[in-house]
Amino acid sequence: MDKVLERLNAKVDYEAVIQSKRQFIDPSFPPVATNIVHPAQREGLAEYLKFQAWRRCRDVFTSTFDVFQGIDVSDIHQGELGNCYYLCGVAAIAEFPDRIAKVFLTQAANESGCYAIQCYIMGKKYAIVVDDNFPYDVDCSSWAFGRSESNEIWVMLLEKVWAKVNGSYGSIVSGQEYEGLNFLTGAPYEVVFHESCKDKLEIWKKIKYGDEKNYIMAASGAGTLSSADYKAAGLVKSHAYSLLGVREFAHNGQTVRLVQLRNPWGHNEWNGEWSDGWAGWTPELKRQLELVDKNDGTFYIPFDQYLRYYDASTICMWKDGYVHSTAVVERKENACHVFELREDCSGYLELCSYPQRMLKNDVPGYKSPVLHLMLGRVEGNNIKYVVSAGCTSSHGNTKVKLTPEYTSSSRGRISSVRSPRPIQSTDTPPARWTWWRPPSAWRLWPNCARTTPARGRTGGATVPASLLSTTSLSSP
């Protein structure tokens, strides 16, 4: 655990380092082989052991280089590392260049090779500093992992900061799209599992709403079809794609619903109906849908085929201009944490623990704990029960939706709030809970296990310690 905290809490005055113009080497994540593949991973990730070399940017680029020259999703190219889930999230954020730019606390290349990236861990904002040493493929004379084709380093920096907080590049192989989205934005997310939705039109409504709100979205291509079926359709099984948006329009007397996706590889596209090379395109349709017939990884796919080849849609509810407020709280017996909403706003209360990925190498046997989150409204010395949710995911997050009249309560280490204005929090909760039956329509997020709330008690009851855990709050 000490190694993890060292990586997260390493204090580097990056502005002073840059001003000194001295070459910077990150002491908490130096350019050594164990930071490419952790010793605990050597057997499972043997294919990455060949990448032992590191190079600084100034030693590889033959001309000047920049952090970014103009952010574009086409800049992103996945290297030899199996982290498409993360790069597809980066690409989805890069659809809104200003959002990616805000992540970089250092936006210009510097002689020291020192860069600071803003990220969120357990709902708390961090400034993680890295140097510009990156794994290098000596045999191919190129960067080994994620990169841009031009002399830009923003993709490599975002990949390296994710590798650093998780202990090694090998530690970021394979994952879920929401991990990178939550890490880089701090915004709440919803994972819509297609198979569990009986009314498939509800899936369409969710992603259409996300598109209208400019939310950041991604899709998981881990369906039940074989790898050969995916390949025949031009797709890749068990692969992550950025979800760019949807289109709905009338054509030949029928309603057409299309989903636009992007492969982070920059190639391999859907080859069926409504693909770039489909014979049914007319000049008017091409103009209407702004079709670019190019093997760049971006394509349209019919909604029914999207459901066939993709098993989940991830929707990150990012809102520009919102404030992220955070409070660190200790575990206390029979205690809860209270947020005060001083003006009308809606939001999401999020329960956080350390992600399993982050600790699995340094804390053997660690698993994210079972989480249970309860939301209540303060009424005098009691709290009226509103809703609860539980989750056992390896990422260690769960959430419920709240509305302005609610006050949230729970216990744990970190609480964070994302809202239009700063929200005050306090560790002075009401003394007792009053339980009420929740409404029959109370809702849990699709990626959360349904849990049983306390039933029908109208008398005051001391808060059960087993139901108290870590909280954070966000609002879209």
201 and 169 inside one domain: no
How much is the pLDDT for 372? 65
329 and 306 assigned to the same domain: no
Nearest to 432 by CA among 357, 376, 360: 376
Report the domain count for the chain: 3
155/12 same-domain check: yes
The reply to whether 296 and 374 lie within a common domain is no
> Do the beta carbons of residue 168 and residue 34 sit within 8 Å?
yes
> Domain range spanning residue 374?
323-474
> Percent of the chain having pLDDT more than 70?
72
The DSSP result for 162-205, as a single string, is: HHHHHTSSGGGSS--HHHHHHHHH---EEEEEGGG-SSHHHHHH
**pLDDT, position 467:** 26
Which of 130, 158, 180 corresponds to the end of one domain?
Answer: 180
In the three-class reduction of DSSP (H, G, I as helix; E, B as strand; rest coil), residue 455 is classed as coil
Q: pLDDT at position 410, please?
A: 30
Helix, strand, coil shares of the chain as percentages rounded to 5?
25, 30, 45
Per-residue pLDDT, 36: 92
Structure tokens at 53: 């070399």
pLDDT exceeds 50 at position 274: yes
Helix 84-94 vs helix 154-166: crossing angle, to nearest 10: 130
Distance CA 341, CA 208 (A): 29
pLDDT recorded at residue 391: 55
Tens digits of residue pLDDT in 228-272: 999 999 999 989 899 999 999 999 999 999 999 998 888 889 999
* Unique residue bearing structure tokens 């009314």: 199
Domain boundary among 256, 288, 316: 316
Residue 35 token pair: 């930071």
From CA 84, how far away is CA 97, in angstroms rounded? 20
76 plus 217 within the same structural domain: no
Does 161 share its domain with 232? no
**Predicted confidence band at 363 (pLDDT cuts at 50, 70, 90)?**
confident
Q: For position 345, what pLDDT does the model report?
A: 61
Residues 232 and 216 both lie in one domain = yes
Q: Return the half-sphere exposure (C-beta side, CA atoms, 13 A cut-off) of residue 301.
A: 27
Tell which wins on pLDDT, 421 or 336.
Answer: 336
Write the DSSP assignment of 262-294 as a string of letters.
E-TTS-----STTSTT-TT--HHHHHHHT---S
Question: Of 316-325, 362-371, 444-453, which has the strongest mean pLDDT?
Answer: 316-325
Residues 310 and 338 in one domain: no
Q: Residue 388: its pLDDT value, please?
A: 67
How sure is the predictor about 426, in pLDDT bands with cuts at 50, 70 and 90?
Answer: very low
Answer yes or no: is pLDDT of 434 > 50: no
Average pLDDT, integer, range 419-429:
43
Output Rg (C-alpha) for the chain, integer angstroms: 23
Question: For residue 327, what pLDDT is reported?
Answer: 57
**Mean pLDDT, range 93-113, rounded to an integer:** 94
Alpha-carbon span 298 to 278, nearest angstrom: 14
CATH of the domain at 214: 3.90.70.10
Whether the CB-CB separation of 113 and 23 falls below 8 Å is answered with: yes
For residue 449, the 8-state DSSP code is: B
State mean pLDDT over 437-462: 27
Are 12 and 154 contained in the same domain?
yes
Question: Do 328 and 469 share a structural domain?
Answer: yes
pLDDT tops 80 at residue 177: yes
In which band, very low, low, confident or very high, does the pLDDT at 311 lie, cut at 50, 70 and 90? very high
The reported pLDDT for the residue numbered 326 is: 64
Q: At what angle do helices 154-166 and 177-185 cross, to 10 degrees?
A: 100
**Domain final residue, candidates 160, 180, 200:** 180
Helices (H), 52-122: 57-60, 84-94, 97-103
374 and 347 housed in the same domain: yes
Query: Over the stretch 114-173, which tens digit does the pLDDT of each residue have?
Result: 999 999 887 788 999 999 999 999 999 999 999 988 899 999 999 999 999 999 999 999
Question: What's the pLDDT score for residue 338?
Answer: 67
* pLDDT tens by residue, 376-406: 777 777 767 776 665 545 555 655 554 443 3
Across the chain, mean pLDDT equals: 78
- Which tokens in the block code for residue 131? 């140097």
Pick the residue with more confidence: 8 or 99?
Answer: 99
Starting at the edge strand that comes first in sequence, how are the strands of the sheet with 397-402 ordered? 323-328, 414-419, 472-474, 347-352, 397-402
Residues 463/469/470/473 CA torsion (nearest 10 deg) = -50
